[in-house]
Chain A
Amino acid sequence: MTTEVLPEAAIRNERLRLRLKSIRSFWRRFAARPDGVIGVVVLIFFSILAIAPGFFVGPLQTVITATGLPLDPPSTAHWLGTDELGRDILNLTVHGTRISMFIGLLATVITILLGAMIGIVSGYVGGRTDTFLMRVTDFFLVLPTFVLALILAPIILDIVGAGSEVFGIRVTLIVIVIVIGITSWASTARIIRSQTLSVKERAFVGRARVIGSGGGHIMWRHILPNTMNLIVANTVLVFGGAILTETTLSFIGLGDPFAPSWGEILNAAESAGAMGLGAWWYVVPPSVCIVLVVLAFTLVGSALDDVLNPRLRVRR
């Protein structure tokens, strides 16, 4: 008597095949949306700049290594002109890409981690934990978080001491990251919690509980993968928002003049009275970059949301 046993490898292959098929179908649907594609192209462009700014424009110019005259209009030597210290604006803007994107990335990671965790736990565990967590979330939603960020930042800075570095990153930037994270997680948490509530009702969760899987296991292996679509779409939008927030915080003066993000460049421009002196080249490049990147994130986020979370799909 022979028994037919499906080899492990066959199962794995089948799973892989299905996954590849769904990825391919995803790309097809995503590529059909011109706004999403444009957004991705823009983001790739800026990501390349962010990864290796030095490759394109050389090292970040400082007061000492400034190459031009102060507030020089654009010329062949300096395509985007110079700032009040004589630094090349193109150089500053490209380096600013890395700093702005980096801060945005870290802040987004914190926001999403916090938000998704609280959202899933709150939604899955339910009961009093849920009520408590949601009260906290609602509180953070009502709070004018920007003002909170504004106040937390100097406090933390004063405690830790500005000008120092942690893991090679300047503390000022870390503070901004933390502050954005603390103040932005609430809306993500709400969204993920809603999704968790509906995923919780599905059959496979009930089955998992019946066979005795623990809460943590269920949340990790079942709830999380099924909320992943929403999390991804939300991440993209949060990233865009984080960059906006960081820009605004830096513009107000919480940025780091030694690691200038786009917002910080604008802050410097404002302090130098660039507009009054007619030095539009100081203001326009960082502004354009901010708008392009945030717009790209919004477009991609919207396209992703439509592709991953369809409202009504007709079969065939």
Chain B
Amino acid sequence: MTDPMTDPVLDAQAIIRGRRAWPLPKQADPNAPLLVVEHLTTRFKMAGGSIKAVDDVSFTLNDGEALGIAGESGCGKTTTALSLVRLLPANGRIGKDSSVKLFGIDLAKKSEDALRRYRWREISIIFQGAMNALNPVRRINEQIAEPIELRLKADKADALKRAGELLELVGIPARRGQAYPHELSGGMRQRAMIAMALACDPAVVIGDEPTTALDVMVQAQILELLERLRRELGLSLILITHDLSVIAETCDRVMVMYAGKVAEEGAVSVIFTTPRHPYTQKLIGAFPNIHADRRTLDVIPGSPPDLREPPPGCRFHPRCPFAMAVCSVEVPPEVTFADGVRVACHLYPPGSDGLPITEPTKDALVQPADSAGPGLGAGVFGDEEFALELRGETVEPESAEHTFSPSHGLTDDRSLDDFK
């Protein structure tokens, strides 16, 4: 039982909450952790049925922490983040048992009107692809000032002034605020998005692939900026990305997701050195290491499952080199080990010692003698694409049909031009 007087988490909490520009929400519990998400499930209703894009995901975020959510495209990371403030398309619903407790206040149970109060003021989002996330016909400073004016009831002049300060904070000269989004470079737009996210001094900032669309140099600058802001402002960050190097550099903890479920979660230092879940191992192994000796790229054969008909049992089992018979039958339970890592894998059942397993066990269906060795990649189109994606390079598919991404078409996509 930790002593609340000397618990480092509570200390950080006190310091950071003490720094807030305004008081906690009236319903807040001052001793509660910043954000506790439990059994979050998000469904999308589609023509043929419904898809669980996020299936029973739980995690905690403490003050001043940076949590990274990693995984392939379509694994549900963005949906998880958007579900926190229910920023879902019309056909998206959060499960009845889900709870999203911010300062102990359950946002999942709030009505849409009540929830609006928490959007941007407590939880804000830096969206991916700033060019599309910014209104093309309004000036940048107006867009940053908008939430300040409307949500914080400031007057226009004050709001614009504050917007200017925010722009300076992220490294954009205030007078550039007069520009329209298309007049700024990609990096500057992303910075503007960050400034906008900070406008109401929120408790939690979610970064949804904030550096994906940028080239490497700019990426580094943005990450540096985020780090600096974290330190200076005591920001609590949720960073969503498929790029593990970003997580390694910026985050304290990481949660690896696969096909809507949590595979593994824990401190970055632990997970990157001793990954347990086979998927995590592959993710890290697929990552080209400039210091290691040259070898072939470790790729994972196959592609992510179609969430309309997910594989039974563990969703990763069709691609898992260590799969056992039980993996196709039962969903693996989440087990937490002494070093604070949470894993959902049958290799680490409740009560096991938790030592990482890197070879197929005796129960594995595919023994080492059968395969040609771990990941001497089949070089199928899906693999190369995946491996390249991990490195942060995106591959342009030939047509929309070739890329499977469940997020396509998950919105209610009745023909937009029904009557032209």
Contact = CB atoms under 8 A, between A and B. Distances in A.
Are any A and B Cβ atoms less than 8 Å apart in their complex?
A: yes
Contacts, number: 29
Is the interface on chain A under 10, 10 to 19, 20 to 34, or 35 or more residues?
Answer: 10 to 19
B400 A302 contact: no
A314 B308 CA distance: 11
Interface stretch (A45-53, A96-104, A305-313): A305-313
Nearest to B403: A315
Interface string B383-420: 00000000000000010111010101100010111111
A306 B409 contact: no
Contacts of A306: 415, 417
B155 interface: no
B306 A312 contact: no
A316 interface: yes
B420 A312 contact: no
A203 B398 CA distance: 9
Given A302-B419, A306-B415, A311-B416, A316 B306 contact: yes
Contact of A315 (B401, B413, B418): B401
A301 B306 CA distance: 33
Interface residues on B, range: 10 to 19
Interface in A289-315: 298, 301-302, 305-306, 311-315
Max chain B CB contacts within 10 Å: which of A203, A298, A305, A313? Answer: A313
B53 to A, nearest CB: 13
A305 B415 CA distance: 11
A315 B420 contact: no
A311 B417 CA distance: 10
Nearest to A310: B400
A312 B402 CA distance: 11
A314 B408 contact: yes
A305 B404 CA distance: 23
B408 A302 contact: no
B417 A302 contact: yes
Interface string B59-70: 000000000000
A298 B419 CA distance: 9
Contacts of A302: 417-420
Q: Which of A203, A298, A311, A315 has the most CB of B within 10 A?
A: A315
B419 A313 contact: no
B401 A313 contact: yes
Contacts of A316: 306, 308
A313 B400 contact: yes
* Among B402, B409, B416, residue most surrounded by chain A Cβ atoms (within 10 Å): B409
A314 B409 contact: yes
Contacts of B415: 306
A15 to B, nearest CB: 20
Contacts of A301: 420
Interface of A: 203, 298, 301-302, 305-306, 311-316
16 contacts: A203-B398, A298-B420, A301-B420, A302-B417, A302-B418, A302-B419, A305-B417, A306-B415, A311-B413, A312-B409, A314-B404, A314-B408, A314-B409, A315-B402, A315-B404, A316-B306
Q: Which 9 A-B pairs have the closest CB atoms?
A: A314-B409, A302-B420, A306-B415, A315-B404, A312-B408, A312-B409, A313-B401, A314-B408, A315-B401
